[in-house]
Amino acid sequence: MKRRHFINSLVAGAAALVTRPLAAFNEARVSTRYLRPPGALAEDEFVARCIHCGQCGEACPNRCIRYFGLENGASSLDTPYITPRDQACILCMKCGDICPTGAITPIAGLMQPILDNVHMGHAVVDHSLCLSWQGQSCGVCYRACPLQNIAIRVGWMEQPEVLDQCVGCGLCERACIQMPQAIRIIPDYEHRRATARATENTT
């Protein structure tokens, strides 16, 4: 009898998952920060154009591109994202070259086009966690940056200062030896949201 009850419970649970309204998944949002690949369009347009072909991930030599399940809502299913602490973007621009729909725009792998067109996010330093800001010279984030003295510079004791031209590749966050990391990327979609809120508050 117990076994039959157990099997019936399993069947009922599976049925509930199958029949759960899709809207419930649309309400879900991932709890961790994520970045879209370099050259990705603004979030809504990116999601609308992405056809979930997976070619961007196949082209990525650093294997930093992953794909959402339902944890970020049904509209994001199978769309590419990057978690910089796990594996950051090396700005090779191969994902944009291969994207068939323009969801990720092609950008030349040269410094100026990257500075002008890549807006993955922006790095922020937590001085309370950063070794250099606590009197122990480190500089790992600076040395990991492919845009040294353009996106980030260091001062006394190699204290990092993020500059306006940071594109948010995440290599600094990936390299940070602190746990939790003392430097992290604020994704572009969060920055846009914050800017919109600030604009609304001033009008």
Identical fold, 23-118 and 119-203: yes
Considering the domain 119-203 in this protein, what is its CATH number?
3.30.70.20
pLDDT (tens digit per residue) in 21-70: 444 434 444 456 899 999 999 999 999 999 999 999 999 999 999 999 99
Domain ranges of the chain: 23-118, 119-203
Considering the domain 23-118 in this protein, what is its CATH number?
3.30.70.20
What residues contact 106, with CB distance under 8 A and at least 6 apart?
39, 93, 96, 97, 99
Asked whether 95 and 56 are in contact (CB, 8 A), the reply is yes
The residue type at 152: I
pLDDT (tens digit per residue) in 139-163: 999 999 999 999 999 999 999 999 9
Which of these, 55, 77, 58, lies nearest to 68 by C-alpha position? 77
pTM of the full structure: 0.80
- Strand-pairing partners, residue 183, are 125
